[in-house]
Chains A and B, each alone.
Chain A
C-alpha cells in the first residue's frame, strides 16, 4: 500500500509539470504577439521593447517557461495587468469564495444523491426508482447556467426572496456568515449541484444495486442479520466508488464554476478568469488556470489513494 502511495505521488509530478507547460503555452495559442495584449495601441517601439524585457518576453520560450515556473512555485504569478496588484492577492480571496460554493454544492449533492440513489436501488423497479432515475438523468442533462437563470427568475424576479446577483457584500469580496451572504449562497449552490447530484445519484444506485446482487448479501440475511446491519455492510461496500465520484465532482466544481459565477456575479475564481480572458490579463489567466488545474491533480491523487485504501478489490502495490 505504501508503495502504491509513493508511486502515485511520483506519478503526479510529471503530470503536474505537463499541466504547467500547457498553462504556460496557452498564452501563445492566440494569434499575435502576447505583448500586444498588454500594450496600448499607440505605444512606441521603444516602449514595447522595454516592457518586453521587463516581462521577460525577449528570452527564448523554454527559458521563459522555467523562469515562470520557478516564480509560480513560490507563489509569484506576477502582477495583474488590470489592477497592477500581485496576482496572488486577487486569486486567494477569489479562490476562497469559489471554494465555499464548491464545498456546499458537493455536500448538498452527496447527501441528497446518496440517500436517493440508495433508496432507488433498494426499491428497484418501483415508481420511486423510476422517479429517482428520471431526476438523475435530468440533473445530468440540464445546462446548469440555464437552471441558474430559471432560479433567478423564480426567486428573484417573481418572488423577490433571494438576491439575483452578488455575494451579499456589495462590491467587496469578503465573506461573512450573515443572512445576506447566506441568502446569496442558496441559488448558486443549488444550480451548481444539479449535475453532480445527477451523477452521484446514478453512481450510488448502480453501486448499491451491484452490491445487493452479490451472494454474500443473501448469506448475511440468511444468517439472521437484521436489515439495518445488512444496510451497514452494503454502505461500506458501495461507498468507495461513490466517494471517489464525489471527490472528482468536487474537483470539477472548483474548475467549472465559471458559468454559475458569471450568472450570479459571484466574486470567485471563475469570475476572475472571465474578466482576465476578456481583458487579456495574461498573468491572472495563467495563474488562475494553473492553480485550479494543480488543485484538480491533487484532488485526483487523493481520490485515487482513498479509493485504493477503501476498496480491497483494487490491486495495490
Chain B
C-alpha cells in the first residue's frame, strides 16, 4: 500500500504537469466545468471586448427611454436628414426629421429581440426534438430527422421570406418565421451530438450500473450535449439578427413607424444621395452586433475545448 501511494503521488504530479494547471497541493477543490470555461474565456481579449460591447448595446437598448435625448417618433420638417454632429442631434436625423440616436436606441430593442428570441425558441423546440431523436435512435430518429430534412431543403433566407410573405408583416410573424427556419439546423446538430455521446463508454457504463433511460439522460447525456448545442446556437445569433433585419428591410417585418434597424435602413435608402452617413448608420449597428456575436461564439468554442 505504501509503494502504491508514493508511486501515485509521482503519477499525480506528472499528471498535473502535463495538464499545465496551477493546482497547488493545498487546493482541494477543482473548479467546475463552467467555471473553468469562464476562466479561459477571461484570458481572451477579443472575446472580452466583444462581450463588453454586446452588454453595452443591450443595456443601451433596455434603458433607451432614459438614455434617448428625443422621442423617437417625433418628426420635424426642419431637421430632416440633419448631418451627424448637428447640435442636439448627435447622430443626425432621418428622412422625417426624427433623431437618429434615439431611433437607434429604441430600434435596438426591437432588432435585438426579434433577432435573438427566435434562437431561444428554436433551441427549445429543435434542441428537444434533436436530443430525443438522437437518444432514442432507430425509426423515431429517422422520422424526426427526415421531417427536418424537408425544411432543410429550402435555402433558409428563401423560406423565411416565403413564410413571412405568406403570414404578412408584423412583429410576431417575423419571430415565428425566423424560429421556424432555425429549428432544423439546431435539431440536426442536437441529434448528431446526442448520437455521438450515446456511443461513449460512460453512457454504457451508466447503463451497466442499472440506470434507466431518464436518469442516464439527466445525469450523463444532457451535461455533455448542451455545451456544443449552445455554442452552435450562439453562432446562429448573428445569422438570425441579419435575417430578421433583412426581413424588416424588405418590409416583411415590423411596420413603420416602429424603430427597427432593418426598417430604418430601408426607409433611409432613398436618402443616400443626400446624407449617406446617416443612411448607413443602422446597418453599422447590425454589423457590429453580428460581428461581436460571431467573435464571442468563436472564443467560447475555443474556451470549451479542454484539449487546447
Is the A/B pair a real complex? yes
Say yes or no: is B67 at the interface (Cβ < 8 Å to chain A). Answer: no
B: contact size bracket: 35 or more
| A147 vs chain B, min Cβ distance (A) | 8
Whether, in the assembled complex, A263 has its beta carbon less than 8 Å from a beta carbon of chain B, the answer is yes
CA A232 to CA B168, docked complex, whole Å: 52
A77 interface residue (CB < 8 Å to B) = no
B121 part of interface (Cβ distance < 8 Å) = no
**Which stretch (A89-97, A114-122, A138-146, A179-187) binds chain B?**
A138-146
Q: Does B252 contact A (CB under 8 A)?
A: yes
CB-CB < 8 A to A18: which residues of B?
150, 153
Residue B256 CB within 8 A of the other chain: no
Is there contact, CB below 8 Å, between A255 and B154? yes
Let me know if B273 and A292 touch, CB within 8 A.
Answer: no
Q: Which chain B residues numbered 249 to 291 have a C-beta less than 8 Å away from chain A?
A: 249-252, 265, 269, 272-273, 276, 279-280, 283-284, 286-287, 290-291
CA A293 to CA B156, docked complex, whole Å: 10
Quick one: which of B161, B265, B291 has the most chain A CB within 10 A? B161
Whole-angstrom distance between the alpha carbons of A19 and B146 in the complex? 12
Interface-side segment among B101-109, B204-212, B219-227, B238-246? B238-246
- In terms of DSSP, what is the predominant structure of the interface of chain A? helix
> Would you call A149 an interface residue if the criterion is a C-beta within 8 Å of the partner chain's C-beta atoms?
yes
Residues of A within 8 A of B57 (CB): none
For A15, the chain B residues whose CB sits under 8 A away are 149-150, 153
- Whether A255 touches B153, Cβ cut-off 8 Å, given contacts A26-B163, A27-B166, is no
- B249: contacting residue among A14, A22, A259, CB under 8 A: A259
What residues on B are CB-neighbors of A14 within 8 Å? 146
Does residue B155 face the partner (Cβ distance < 8 Å to A)?
Answer: yes
Kindly state whether residue A274 has any CB partner on chain B within 8 Å: yes
Contact of A149 among B162, B167, B269, B295 (CB under 8 A): B269
- The answer to the question of A64 belonging to the interface, with a C-beta cut-off of 8 Å to chain B, is no
Of A52-60, A152-160, A167-175, A215-223, the one touching chain B:
A152-160
Contact A258 B291 (CB under 8 A): no
**How near does chain A come to B54, taking the closest CB pair, in angstroms?**
13
Q: How far is the CB of A214 from chain B (nearest CB, A)?
A: 17
**B272 adjacent to A157 (CB under 8 Å):** yes
In the complex, are the beta carbons of A292 and B249 less than 8 A apart? no
Q: Any chain A CB within 8 A of the CB of B195?
A: no
Q: State the CA gap A293–B290 with chains docked (Å).
A: 27
- What is the bound-complex CA distance between A140 and B236, given in angstroms? 11
Are B276 and A158 in contact, CB atoms less than 8 angstroms apart? yes
Of A19, A31, A262, A276, which contacts B154 at CB under 8 A? A19
Indicate whether B294 reaches chain A with its CB closer than 8 angstroms.
yes
Contact A256 B157 (CB under 8 A): yes
Contact A26 to B251, CB < 8 A, known contacts A157-B272, A252-B155, A256-B157? no
Report yes or no: A277 in contact with B295, Cβ–Cβ below 8 A. no
Q: Nearest CB to that of A277 among chain B residues?
A: B165
Please measure, in the bound complex, the distance between the C-alpha atom of A311 and the C-alpha atom of B280, giving whole angstroms: 44
- Is A141's CB under 8 angstroms from B294's CB? yes
Shortest distance from the beta carbon of A163 to any chain B beta carbon, whole Å = 13
- A19 cross-chain contacts in B, Cβ below 8 A: 150, 153-154
A-B contact pairs, 20 of them (CB 8 A): A15-B153, A18-B153, A22-B154, A140-B294, A141-B291, A143-B245, A146-B265, A146-B287, A152-B272, A153-B272, A252-B156, A255-B155, A256-B156, A258-B250, A259-B249, A273-B165, A276-B165, A277-B161, A292-B155, A300-B153
Known: A140-B238, A141-B238. 18 other contacts (CB 8 A): A16-B153, A19-B150, A22-B154, A137-B291, A143-B286, A145-B246, A145-B283, A146-B283, A146-B286, A149-B265, A150-B283, A157-B276, A252-B157, A255-B157, A258-B157, A258-B161, A292-B155, A300-B153
